[in-house]
Structure 1
């Protein structure tokens, strides 16, 4: 177990430093970097306890106790700022860290006033000075982890919709790793709840150190989020100008102020541009670029697509790409299906197959075979 913990500790700090020194880093890189460093400190605290350092150096006892209260807030803030072009946290965001800060403040007498002997007595449960606080803190860990997992999952769903409303391609930023991260955190805290119920509530004695399960999962979590986080691109790089905010079709166009008569004209112009100029051939086409092409605001463009086409931007653009692919595949059989797909604006085979099956209810080869019969 010590080897696993050492790997987790080294990776936590190494990946944290790597993210912090990343070129063209954004706020989410800093959040993830700080989160990884916090996990490294947490793992170090457990390692010192496991190796008996708390008994030899009692003043180390409890230094990492409130840290689990930080896991949920870091995950939530990462999700929030992954779709905002911000360079620093808002004042209210720091409220998420209040429970952890208050816990440390409450433990100040323990850290600075208790003797080494008294700290050991508290840790072994020989005195009841912090017994109630420990119970409250344990419940707080579990509630915090589960609540933040739920609201983060909802935020992830909103983020997915936001991407589909602004980008014509799916894999600019992967959502899968965030979904797995949320589920992993929820799993850790659910396990903590079950172990606590059996161990503390029912007096069940596990034949092994149950805490090792949590920390092993956390080590795997470090490897996963560190690797995935470093690979992520920023939503606001490349095609989006600095200061540009993403448009949420569910609410963004409601205040766009686009009059109906103008909307009808602009909608016709949009369809003409899509048919004649084929901007969808650009695999990196965004709502911002298309709206600029028609001299409209992104909000107004979003209104046109959602009200008149009844789809999001992603589906609207890819509908044209699928039809372009069908035309190319039928007129020229010398090229592979993937070559036609890439020439039609798709940027990957997986995205092409997924979109095609969604729109046509069958694979590209099945669809084309039926048309030849």
Structure 2
């Protein structure tokens, strides 16, 4: 186990160094680097406890106790600034760290206790801080899982925003970030479950149950570090396009848009004609703003027209045309020598994964299954 802790501590600080040395590092990279440092300190503090250094140096006792309250905020801020256009750290963002600061302030008297009294508290021989320990477990559970849920909801809102403005998936796959969010949620849940079983129920695992949490945390570092090093800021669009990003709206909000119904119907007809005649969907990185320019209409009004009359978001609307384009091209005799992916790219798709996902959603079959069924019928 010593080797595992040593690797985890070294990797945490090494990944921090790599992140800070990235030439094009973003704010999210800096946040992840700080988080790696916190994790490294957390692991190191617990490791010296396992080695018995708390007995030799009592002033180190409990230093790592509030650190779990930092992991949730760091997760949220990392996700937040990975998908946020504005990369400025505001004073409100520092409020996420107040609970951990409050814990340290509350523990100040403990740090100045004599070595004998600290040892008694750590051994559970006195009721001092016993209520605080119970409160801490509840705070860790609420903080860890609460921030996990907030982060996941934030990612879903981003997905809705991109689907409303882009006809392609951004270069960074969001799936790893989703796994990342749920991964730390599982780590927190397991840690708190084990702590409750030991501290409240009195269950005896027969070994140091804390090692379950720290082992999972070390494994998590490998995934987090590898993905974070490769990760680029997700919401990277041209400056001219940022001003035209349209926020998703519900039907009731469109009533106040100022777009008259007659004008909306006229623009919808023009949109349909444009899609058939000029096929703008063949541009792999088509955006809502660019299509709005072709119709000489605002991006907000175009989004409203697509949502109301097509009952789809921009992403699904454009990719529906691409699917039909693929079906038409794939069945032409002159395209028999081309593979499926080549035809998909020619139809406006920019990646294999998005093509397969969109095609299955629209047709109910994979591209291969669809072409096989068509050949069987003919």
TM-score (norm: length of structure 2): 0.90
Partners of 1:269 and 1:45 lie apart in 2 by: 66
Q: What whole-Å deviation, never above 9, does each CA across 1:311-350 have from its counterpart, x for those lacking one? A: 1111111111111112221222121121111111112222
Q: Which residue of 2 aligns with 1:109?
A: 109
CA contact (8 A) 2:140 2:192 kept: no
CA contact (8 A) 1:353 1:363 kept: yes
Q: Which residue of 1 aligns with 2:201?
A: 202
Q: Secondary structure at the match of 1:82?
A: helix
Q: Which residue of 2 aligns with 1:304?
A: 305
Partners of 1:173 and 1:357 lie apart in 2 by: 21
* Structure 1: stretches of 5+ with no match in the other structure: none
Q: Which residue of 2 aligns with 1:164?
A: 163
Partners of 2:308 and 2:108 lie apart in 1 by: 58
Provide the alpha-carbon RMSD of the alignment.
Answer: 2.4
Q: Which residue of 1 aligns with 2:370?
A: 367
Q: Secondary structure at the match of 2:214?
A: helix
Partners of 2:293 and 2:219 lie apart in 1 by: 44
Aligned length: 372
CA contact (8 A) 2:244 2:299 kept: no
Q: Secondary structure at the match of 2:83?
A: coil
Q: Which residue of 1 aligns with 2:326?
A: 325
* Distance verdict in 2 for CA 1:118–1:177, change over 3 Å: same
Partners of 1:313 and 1:88 lie apart in 2 by: 29
Partners of 2:214 and 2:328 lie apart in 1 by: 55
Counterparts of 1:224-239 in structure 2 under 5 Å?
224-239=223-238
Partners of 1:16 and 1:246 lie apart in 2 by: 33
Partners of 1:77 and 1:166 lie apart in 2 by: 24
Q: Which residue of 1 aligns with 2:2?
A: 2
Partners of 1:45 and 1:362 lie apart in 2 by: 53
Q: Secondary structure at the match of 1:126?
A: coil
Q: Which residue of 2 aligns with 1:281?
A: 282
Q: Which residue of 2 aligns with 1:314?
A: 315
Counterparts of 1:1-373 in structure 2 under 5 Å?
1-111=1-111, 113-170=112-169, 172-239=171-238, 241=240, 243-244=242-243, 246-250=245-249, 254=254, 256-331=257-332, 332-372=335-375, 373=378
* Distance verdict in 2 for CA 1:138–1:118, change over 3 Å: same
* Structure 2: stretches of 5+ with no match in the other structure: none
* Distance verdict in 2 for CA 1:242–1:280, change over 3 Å: closer
Q: Secondary structure at the match of 1:227?
A: helix
* Distance verdict in 2 for CA 1:240–1:352, change over 3 Å: farther
